Protein backbone atom coordinates (compact mmCIF):
# COMPACT_ATOMS: atom_id res chain seq x y z
CA UNK A 1 0.00 0.00 0.00
CA UNK A 2 1.24 3.46 -0.84
CA UNK A 3 0.60 6.55 1.28
CA UNK A 4 1.06 10.28 1.02
CA UNK A 5 1.42 12.74 3.85
CA UNK A 6 -0.53 15.26 1.82
CA UNK A 7 -3.38 14.82 -0.59
CA UNK A 8 -7.12 14.49 -0.75
CA UNK A 9 -9.17 12.20 1.48
CA UNK A 10 -10.89 10.21 -1.24
CA UNK A 11 -12.47 6.81 -0.65
CA UNK A 12 -13.70 4.10 -2.99
CA UNK A 13 -12.63 1.66 -5.68
CA UNK A 14 -11.52 2.12 -9.27
CA UNK A 15 -11.29 -0.88 -11.59
CA UNK A 16 -8.18 -0.22 -13.65
CA UNK A 17 -7.42 -1.92 -16.95
CA UNK A 18 -3.69 -2.15 -16.33
CA UNK A 19 -1.58 -1.65 -19.46
CA UNK A 20 1.30 -3.90 -20.48
CA UNK A 21 4.91 -3.25 -19.42
CA UNK A 22 4.11 -1.47 -16.17
CA UNK A 23 4.10 -2.94 -12.68
CA UNK A 24 1.00 -2.95 -10.50
CA UNK A 25 2.76 -0.65 -8.04
CA UNK A 26 3.59 1.91 -10.74
CA UNK A 27 0.04 1.75 -12.11
CA UNK A 28 -1.29 2.43 -8.61
CA UNK A 29 1.17 5.30 -8.16
CA UNK A 30 0.04 6.92 -11.39
CA UNK A 31 -3.63 6.66 -10.43
CA UNK A 32 -2.97 7.95 -6.92
CA UNK A 33 -1.07 10.92 -8.36
CA UNK A 34 -3.90 11.71 -10.77
CA UNK A 35 -6.44 11.71 -7.93
CA UNK A 36 -4.04 13.42 -5.50
CA UNK A 37 -5.09 10.76 -3.00
CA UNK A 38 -3.35 10.45 0.34
CA UNK A 39 -3.98 6.72 0.78
CA UNK A 40 -4.19 3.95 -1.80
CA UNK A 41 -3.55 0.27 -2.41
CA UNK A 42 -4.18 -2.43 -5.01
CA UNK A 43 -5.74 -5.88 -4.74
CA UNK A 44 -4.04 -8.73 -6.56
CA UNK A 45 -0.72 -8.03 -8.27
CA UNK A 46 -0.39 -8.40 -12.03
CA UNK A 47 2.95 -9.12 -13.73
CA UNK A 48 4.29 -6.22 -15.86
CA UNK A 49 3.61 -8.21 -19.06
CA UNK A 50 0.01 -8.85 -17.99
CA UNK A 51 -2.94 -6.56 -18.67
CA UNK A 52 -6.45 -6.29 -17.32
CA UNK A 53 -8.35 -5.93 -14.08
CA UNK A 54 -6.35 -4.32 -11.27
CA UNK A 55 -8.69 -3.17 -8.48
CA UNK A 56 -7.43 0.06 -6.89
CA UNK A 57 -8.62 1.07 -3.43
CA UNK A 58 -8.48 4.61 -2.07
CA UNK A 59 -8.89 5.94 1.46
CA UNK A 60 -11.19 3.87 3.66
CA UNK A 61 -11.65 1.30 0.88
CA UNK A 62 -8.07 0.12 1.53
CA UNK A 63 -9.42 -1.55 4.69
CA UNK A 64 -11.46 -3.91 2.49
CA UNK A 65 -8.55 -5.03 0.27
CA UNK A 66 -8.20 -8.48 1.94
CA UNK A 67 -11.72 -9.38 0.81
CA UNK A 68 -10.77 -8.79 -2.82
CA UNK A 69 -7.32 -10.38 -2.67
CA UNK A 70 -8.98 -13.63 -1.57
CA UNK A 71 -11.65 -13.51 -4.30
CA UNK A 72 -11.78 -15.79 -7.34
CA UNK A 73 -10.19 -14.55 -10.55
CA UNK A 74 -10.61 -15.06 -14.29
CA UNK A 75 -7.85 -14.93 -16.89
CA UNK A 76 -7.42 -15.22 -20.62
CA UNK A 77 -3.97 -16.50 -21.58
CA UNK A 78 -2.08 -17.79 -24.58
CA UNK A 79 0.72 -20.36 -24.65
CA UNK A 80 3.30 -19.89 -27.39
CA UNK A 81 4.78 -23.26 -28.29
CA UNK A 82 8.35 -23.99 -29.28
CA UNK A 83 10.39 -22.63 -26.36
CA UNK A 84 10.37 -22.53 -22.58
CA UNK A 85 11.81 -19.68 -20.52
CA UNK A 86 13.14 -19.33 -16.98
CA UNK A 87 10.34 -16.94 -16.03
CA UNK A 88 7.69 -19.09 -17.80
CA UNK A 89 6.65 -16.06 -19.87
CA UNK A 90 7.85 -13.94 -22.78
CA UNK A 91 10.09 -11.78 -20.58
CA UNK A 92 12.44 -14.59 -19.59
CA UNK A 93 15.52 -16.21 -21.09
CA UNK A 94 14.98 -19.26 -23.28
CA UNK A 95 15.89 -22.47 -21.45
CA UNK A 96 14.72 -25.14 -23.92
CA UNK A 97 13.38 -25.45 -27.47
CA UNK A 98 11.36 -28.15 -29.20
CA UNK A 99 9.91 -28.71 -32.68
CA UNK A 100 7.02 -30.81 -31.39
CA UNK A 101 3.56 -29.23 -31.27
CA UNK A 102 0.45 -30.50 -29.46
CA UNK A 103 -2.76 -31.51 -31.21
CA UNK A 104 -6.15 -30.15 -30.21
CA UNK A 105 -7.04 -33.55 -28.87
CA UNK A 106 -3.95 -33.72 -26.68
CA UNK A 107 -4.64 -30.30 -25.21
CA UNK A 108 -8.30 -30.94 -24.41
CA UNK A 109 -7.52 -34.40 -23.03
CA UNK A 110 -4.99 -33.06 -20.53
CA UNK A 111 -7.12 -30.24 -19.12
CA UNK A 112 -9.27 -32.27 -16.67
CA UNK A 113 -6.19 -33.01 -14.53
CA UNK A 114 -5.79 -29.26 -13.96
CA UNK A 115 -9.35 -28.67 -12.75
CA UNK A 116 -10.50 -28.82 -9.15
CA UNK A 117 -8.04 -28.76 -6.26
CA UNK A 118 -4.56 -29.29 -7.63
CA UNK A 119 -0.98 -28.94 -6.45
CA UNK A 120 1.11 -26.36 -8.23
CA UNK A 121 4.74 -25.29 -7.92
CA UNK A 122 4.94 -21.47 -8.18
CA UNK A 123 7.37 -19.85 -10.64
CA UNK A 124 10.79 -19.03 -9.21
CA UNK A 125 10.21 -15.55 -10.66
CA UNK A 126 7.48 -14.77 -8.14
CA UNK A 127 7.10 -12.60 -5.04
CA UNK A 128 7.10 -15.54 -2.63
CA UNK A 129 9.45 -15.10 0.32
CA UNK A 130 12.38 -17.51 0.59
CA UNK A 131 14.45 -17.10 3.76
CA UNK A 132 13.35 -13.50 4.06
CA UNK A 133 13.97 -12.56 0.41
CA UNK A 134 11.72 -12.47 -2.65
CA UNK A 135 12.07 -15.52 -4.86
CA UNK A 136 12.40 -13.40 -8.01
CA UNK A 137 15.29 -11.47 -6.49
CA UNK A 138 17.20 -14.67 -5.77
CA UNK A 139 16.42 -16.01 -9.25
CA UNK A 140 17.69 -12.82 -10.91
CA UNK A 141 20.92 -13.17 -8.94
CA UNK A 142 21.37 -16.64 -10.40
CA UNK A 143 20.79 -18.40 -7.09
CA UNK A 144 19.06 -21.78 -6.99
CA UNK A 145 15.49 -21.49 -5.74
CA UNK A 146 13.28 -24.42 -4.80
CA UNK A 147 9.65 -23.70 -4.06
CA UNK A 148 7.28 -26.23 -2.53
CA UNK A 149 4.07 -27.22 -4.26
CA UNK A 150 0.94 -25.44 -3.07
CA UNK A 151 -2.70 -26.42 -3.24
CA UNK A 152 -4.80 -24.15 -5.44
CA UNK A 153 -8.28 -24.45 -6.88
CA UNK A 154 -9.21 -24.26 -10.54
CA UNK A 155 -12.96 -23.88 -11.06
CA UNK A 156 -12.82 -24.06 -14.85
CA UNK A 157 -10.20 -24.22 -17.58
CA UNK A 158 -11.12 -24.29 -21.26
CA UNK A 159 -9.28 -24.24 -24.57
CA UNK A 160 -10.94 -21.48 -26.62
CA UNK A 161 -8.80 -21.05 -29.75
CA UNK A 162 -5.64 -22.14 -31.54
CA UNK A 163 -3.21 -20.97 -34.18
CA UNK A 164 -2.12 -24.23 -35.77
CA UNK A 165 1.42 -25.24 -34.77
CA UNK A 166 1.95 -21.86 -33.09
CA UNK A 167 -0.16 -21.22 -29.98
CA UNK A 168 -3.25 -22.07 -27.96
CA UNK A 169 -5.48 -19.76 -25.92
CA UNK A 170 -7.39 -20.60 -22.75
CA UNK A 171 -9.88 -19.15 -20.27
CA UNK A 172 -9.22 -19.84 -16.59
CA UNK A 173 -11.45 -19.30 -13.56
CA UNK A 174 -9.53 -19.97 -10.36
CA UNK A 175 -9.09 -19.34 -6.65
CA UNK A 176 -6.46 -17.22 -4.95
CA UNK A 177 -2.81 -18.09 -5.28
CA UNK A 178 -3.07 -19.75 -8.69
CA UNK A 179 -0.19 -18.95 -11.04
CA UNK A 180 -1.12 -18.88 -14.73
CA UNK A 181 2.52 -19.23 -15.75
CA UNK A 182 2.87 -22.42 -13.71
CA UNK A 183 -0.35 -23.78 -15.17
CA UNK A 184 0.96 -23.14 -18.69
CA UNK A 185 4.23 -24.87 -17.81
CA UNK A 186 2.36 -27.91 -16.51
CA UNK A 187 0.06 -28.07 -19.55
CA UNK A 188 3.11 -28.10 -21.82
CA UNK A 189 4.71 -30.82 -19.72
CA UNK A 190 1.54 -32.92 -19.87
CA UNK A 191 1.53 -32.89 -23.69
CA UNK A 192 5.31 -33.19 -24.04
CA UNK A 193 6.17 -29.84 -25.61
CA UNK A 194 8.04 -26.65 -24.72
CA UNK A 195 6.09 -23.42 -24.34
CA UNK A 196 5.54 -20.26 -22.34
CA UNK A 197 2.87 -17.62 -21.69
CA UNK A 198 3.08 -14.78 -24.19
CA UNK A 199 -0.33 -13.18 -23.59
CA UNK A 200 -1.95 -12.81 -20.17
CA UNK A 201 -5.05 -10.76 -19.40
CA UNK A 202 -7.07 -10.77 -16.19
CA UNK A 203 -10.75 -10.24 -16.90
CA UNK A 204 -12.24 -10.48 -13.40
CA UNK A 205 -11.34 -10.22 -9.71
CA UNK A 206 -14.33 -11.08 -7.52
CA UNK A 207 -17.16 -8.78 -8.63
CA UNK A 208 -14.77 -6.44 -10.45
CA UNK A 209 -14.99 -7.23 -14.17
CA UNK A 210 -13.14 -5.93 -17.21
CA UNK A 211 -16.26 -4.41 -18.80
CA UNK A 212 -16.35 -1.84 -15.97
CA UNK A 213 -12.61 -1.09 -16.06
CA UNK A 214 -11.00 2.14 -17.23
CA UNK A 215 -7.51 2.83 -18.54
CA UNK A 216 -5.00 5.25 -17.05
CA UNK A 217 -5.52 7.51 -20.07
CA UNK A 218 -9.28 7.53 -19.49
CA UNK A 219 -8.75 8.28 -15.81
CA UNK A 220 -6.48 11.18 -16.73
CA UNK A 221 -9.19 12.65 -18.97
CA UNK A 222 -11.81 12.25 -16.22
CA UNK A 223 -9.63 13.99 -13.64
CA UNK A 224 -8.80 16.77 -16.10
CA UNK A 225 -12.50 17.41 -16.69
CA UNK A 226 -13.37 17.15 -12.99
CA UNK A 227 -10.43 17.89 -10.64
CA UNK A 228 -12.55 16.80 -7.67
CA UNK A 229 -13.10 13.38 -9.30
CA UNK A 230 -14.02 10.63 -6.81
CA UNK A 231 -13.83 6.85 -7.29
CA UNK A 232 -17.21 5.71 -8.59
CA UNK A 233 -17.40 2.46 -6.59
CA UNK A 234 -17.94 2.83 -2.82
CA UNK A 235 -15.78 1.06 -0.25
CA UNK A 236 -18.45 -1.55 0.47
CA UNK A 237 -18.30 -2.84 -3.13
CA UNK A 238 -15.61 -5.26 -2.02
CA UNK A 239 -17.92 -6.69 0.64
CA UNK A 240 -20.81 -7.71 -1.61
CA UNK A 241 -20.64 -11.38 -0.56
CA UNK A 242 -20.69 -10.65 3.19
CA UNK A 243 -23.97 -10.54 5.20
CA UNK A 244 -25.03 -6.97 5.90
CA UNK A 245 -27.13 -5.36 8.64
CA UNK A 246 -28.64 -1.88 8.76
CA UNK A 247 -28.14 -0.51 12.28
CA UNK A 248 -29.87 2.26 14.19
CA UNK A 249 -28.26 5.57 15.09
CA UNK A 250 -27.67 4.46 18.69
CA UNK A 251 -26.13 1.17 17.51
CA UNK A 252 -23.96 3.10 15.07
CA UNK A 253 -22.61 5.29 17.87
CA UNK A 254 -21.72 2.21 19.92
CA UNK A 255 -19.98 0.48 17.04
CA UNK A 256 -18.01 3.63 16.18
CA UNK A 257 -16.71 3.63 19.73
CA UNK A 258 -15.75 -0.04 19.57
CA UNK A 259 -18.63 -1.31 21.69
CA UNK A 260 -20.58 -4.49 20.97
CA UNK A 261 -24.26 -4.47 20.08
CA UNK A 262 -26.90 -7.18 20.28
CA UNK A 263 -27.44 -9.09 17.04
CA UNK A 264 -31.02 -9.49 15.72
CA UNK A 265 -32.57 -12.93 16.22
CA UNK A 266 -32.94 -13.57 12.48
CA UNK A 267 -29.25 -12.81 11.92
CA UNK A 268 -28.27 -15.22 14.69
CA UNK A 269 -30.52 -17.91 13.24
CA UNK A 270 -29.18 -17.47 9.71
CA UNK A 271 -25.44 -17.45 10.44
CA UNK A 272 -22.87 -19.32 12.46
CA UNK A 273 -20.74 -17.98 15.28
CA UNK A 274 -17.66 -16.07 14.02
CA UNK A 275 -19.45 -14.98 10.83
CA UNK A 276 -18.32 -11.57 9.58
CA UNK A 277 -21.19 -9.09 9.22
CA UNK A 278 -21.14 -5.68 7.54
CA UNK A 279 -22.81 -2.94 9.58
CA UNK A 280 -24.32 -0.08 7.58
CA UNK A 281 -25.92 3.10 8.86
CA UNK A 282 -28.04 5.29 6.58
CA UNK A 283 -26.80 3.21 3.63
CA UNK A 284 -23.13 3.97 4.36
CA UNK A 285 -20.49 1.46 5.40
CA UNK A 286 -19.90 1.77 9.14
CA UNK A 287 -17.99 -1.28 10.40
CA UNK A 288 -17.00 -4.88 9.94
CA UNK A 289 -18.21 -6.93 12.85
CA UNK A 290 -18.01 -10.54 13.99
CA UNK A 291 -21.02 -12.47 15.25
CA UNK A 292 -20.14 -13.96 18.64
CA UNK A 293 -22.59 -15.41 21.14
CA UNK A 294 -25.51 -13.32 19.97
CA UNK A 295 -23.53 -10.09 19.79
CA UNK A 296 -21.77 -8.14 17.05
CA UNK A 297 -18.19 -7.19 17.89
CA UNK A 298 -16.67 -4.45 15.70
CA UNK A 299 -13.14 -5.22 14.56
CA UNK A 300 -12.76 -2.66 11.76
CA UNK A 301 -14.48 0.73 11.81
CA UNK A 302 -14.73 3.00 8.77
CA UNK A 303 -14.58 6.80 8.85
CA UNK A 304 -17.20 7.42 6.21
CA UNK A 305 -20.03 8.77 8.40
Q: Mind listing the pLDDT tens digit for each residue in 224-267? A: 999 888 898 999 999 999 999 999 999 999 999 999 999 999 99
- Residues 242-301, CATH architecture: Roll (2.30)
User: Would residue 47 show up in a list of annotated catalytic residues for this protein?
Assistant: yes
pLDDT tens-digit map of 148-196: 889 999 999 999 999 999 999 999 999 999 999 999 999 999 999 999 9
Q: Could you list the beta-strand ranges (E) of the chain.
A: 2-3, 12-18, 39-42, 51-58, 73-81, 83-85, 94-97, 116-120, 129-130, 133-134, 150-163, 167-174, 195-205, 208-209, 244-246, 261-262, 276-281, 284-292, 295-301
Q: Is 225 left (phi over 0), alpha (psi -120 to 50) or beta?
A: alpha
Q: Which of 5-14, 16-25, 73-82, 87-96 has the lowest mean pLDDT?
A: 5-14
Find the catalytic residue in 9, 17, 21, 47: 47
Instruction: Report, as an integer, the average pLDDT of 271-285.
Output: 95
Average confidence score pLDDT of the chain: 92
Percentage of the chain modeled with pLDDT above 90: 84
pLDDT of residue 58: 97
Q: Which pLDDT value is given to residue 132?
A: 66
Provide the pLDDT for residue 94. 96
pTM of the model: 0.90
pLDDT band at 139 (very low <50, low <70, confident <90, very high): low
pLDDT at 290 over 60: yes
Q: What pLDDT does 83 receive?
A: 98
Does the structure show a pLDDT above 60 at 138? yes
Asked whether the domain spanning 73-199 has the same topology as the one spanning 2-71+207-236, the reply is yes
CB 279 within 8 A of CB 296: yes
CATH topology of domain 2-71+207-236: Pseudouridine synthase (3.30.2350)
- Show me where the domains of the chain are located: 2-71+207-236, 73-199, 242-301
CATH class of 73-199: alpha beta
pLDDT of res. 6: 75
Q: How many residues does the chain have?
A: 305
Amino acid sequence: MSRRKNGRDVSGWIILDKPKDISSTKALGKARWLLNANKAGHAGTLDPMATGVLPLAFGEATKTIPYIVDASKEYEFTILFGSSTDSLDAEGEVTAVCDKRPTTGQLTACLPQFRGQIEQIPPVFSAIHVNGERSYKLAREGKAVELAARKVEVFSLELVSEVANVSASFVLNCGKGTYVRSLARDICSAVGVEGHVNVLRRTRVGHFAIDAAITLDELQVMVHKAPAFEPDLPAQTALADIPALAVTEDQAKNLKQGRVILAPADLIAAHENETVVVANWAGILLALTKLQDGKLLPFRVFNLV
